Amino acid sequence: MMEALKAINTRRSVRKYKKKKVPKKIIKELINAARNAPSSYNEQPWVFITITDKEKLRKIAEPEEQKSNFLKDAPLVIACCYDEKKSSTKIHNLENVAVAAENILIAANALGLGACYVTAFTSKYPVIEKRIRKVLKLPGNVHPVCLITIGYPDEEPVDKEMRPLKEVWKKEEYV
Amino acid sequence: MDAVKAVMTRRSIRKYKKKDVPKKLIMKLIDAARQAPSAYNDQPWEFIVVKNKETMKKITKYKSKFMLDAPVWIFCGYNKNKSSTEHDLENTALAIENLLITAHAMGLGAVYTGGYDPGDKSLEKAISKALNLPKNVHIVSIVCVGWPDEEPGEKEMRPLSNMTHFETF
């Protein structure tokens, strides 16, 4: 049990994990948390694919960008996607999936896990999404938004530099 | 409130008591929002807190009327000048979910409403004007916040098994 504000405010990206597996019961709890997110017109356009197969992770992780190389060592990855067939508005799919993804990140922290949000698409390297599509056998109507790497933390995340509260909080008007 | 419980029991609240939300709690909401992860830790978000009914009226022309009864609106957006990626929408949405869960955990009710429509720019224009937004700031959502005056009904949910796939789709 971890208090909600603490779970939100202490969550940091964790990229190094112990070899210990994440039990299925916990995986289920993470996805249950995700699907409780709000979505436009309650369409719940999301789809979650859990990946533990090392071979698949290795194929996905072949890095154009070295920074996501840690992905192959995660005991669990959850690919968070949206299914455009479940969405009538089309315009808010990215947000809907991101909101659900944040629930996974918070629940993971509260359950003693570490996690990191890794984007699944970038126009600079379209090959990343193509590879994800191929490995996960996604049909054309299902679009990956992010891959969340999850495991028991094997690092203490360092304090991150944050924009001060007064810089991001405006009152009544922007200026 | 336990974190997992807060995530699981959060529901959209659209009816509010006439009671104000103290500044200290608003600060907690935004403090939680800004703890979200963002691509390259850009933290491109901006939060504009509005209690002024005149400002609200200018916007509800394009939105649902219930919103006028919310004591607080938090416009959540991103600042293109703070961003180095194409992931601003997701980054802001992650921050918004922190805000919604924190509101619920503190006994407040909130709802995420859309802040733009690519097919019809009139809402975006009205917001820009009312808030004096510079061109580089884009609103993603107007989050209404207040003390709940309704019990949210059970929402229909797609079953877990319908959206969970193992190893491949």
User: Strand B164-166 relative to strand A46-51: parallel, antiparallel, unpaired?
Assistant: parallel
Q: Looking at the partner chain, which of B41, B82, B163 has a beta carbon nearest the beta carbon of A48? A: B163
Do the beta carbons of residue B49 and residue A169 sit within 8 Å? Answer: yes
The whole-number pLDDT of residue B109 equals 98
Contact A2 B2 (CB under 8 A): yes
How confident is residue B154, by pLDDT bands cut at 50, 70 and 90?
Answer: confident
Using a CB-CB cut-off of 8 Å, the residues of chain A touching B51 are: 172
The whole-number pLDDT of residue A67 equals 62
Dihedral sign (CA B97, A46, A7, B91): negative
The whole-number pLDDT of residue A63 equals 67
Tokens found for residue B14:
């659209």
Contact A50 B167 (CB under 8 A): yes
Q: By mean pLDDT, which of A101-105, B29-33, B160-164 is the weakest? A: B160-164
* Cα–Cα dist B121/B124, whole Å: 5
Using a CB-CB cut-off of 8 Å, the residues of chain B touching A99 are: 93-94, 96-97, 100, 112
Contact A170 B93 (CB under 8 A): no
In Å, how far is B111's CA from the nearest CA of chain A? 9
Enter the ipTM.
0.94
- Provide CB contacts within 8 A for B56, sequence distance 6+: B50, B67, B68, B70, B73
Beta bridge partners of A78: A50, A148
Nearest CA in chain A to B25: A5
Using a CB-CB cut-off of 8 Å, the residues of chain B touching A96 are: 93
How far apart, in Å, are the Cα atoms of B95 and each of A99, B44, B145?
A: 8, 10, 15
Per-residue model confidence as pLDDT tens digits over A117-171: 999 999 988 999 999 999 999 999 999 999 999 999 999 988 899 999 999 999 9
Using a CB-CB cut-off of 8 Å, the residues of chain A touching B110 are: none
Q: Looking at the partner chain, which of A2, A47, A51 has a beta carbon nearest the beta carbon of B3? A: A2
At CA B22, angle to CA B17 and CA B28, rounded to 5?
Answer: 115
* Cα–Cα dist B123/A62, whole Å: 43
SS3 A132: helix
Do the beta carbons of residue A151 and residue A75 sit within 8 Å? Answer: yes
Interface with A, mutate which of B25, B29, B75, B97 (most A CBs under 10 A):
B97
The DSSP H or E segment spanning A106 is: helix A93-110
Nearest CA in chain A to B97: A99
* Cα–Cα dist B40/B8, whole Å: 29
Mean residue pLDDT of chain A comes to: 94
Beta bridge partners of B2: A3
* Cα–Cα dist A91/B118, whole Å: 8
Contact A122 B86 (CB under 8 A): yes
Pick the CATH number of A4-168 from 2.40.50.140, 3.40.109.10, 3.30.1510.10, 3.90.580.10: 3.40.109.10
Mean pLDDT of B16-40: 97
* Cα–Cα dist A137/A83, whole Å: 13
The whole-number pLDDT of residue B64 equals 94
Domain boundaries, chain A: 4-168
Per-residue model confidence as pLDDT tens digits over A61-87: 876 666 678 999 999 999 999 999 999
- Please name the residue that has the structure tokens 């919604």: B100
Which residue type does A52 have?
T
* Cα–Cα dist A63/A125, whole Å: 10
Fold of B3-7+15-150: NADH Oxidase (3.40.109)
* Cα–Cα dist B139/B141, whole Å: 6
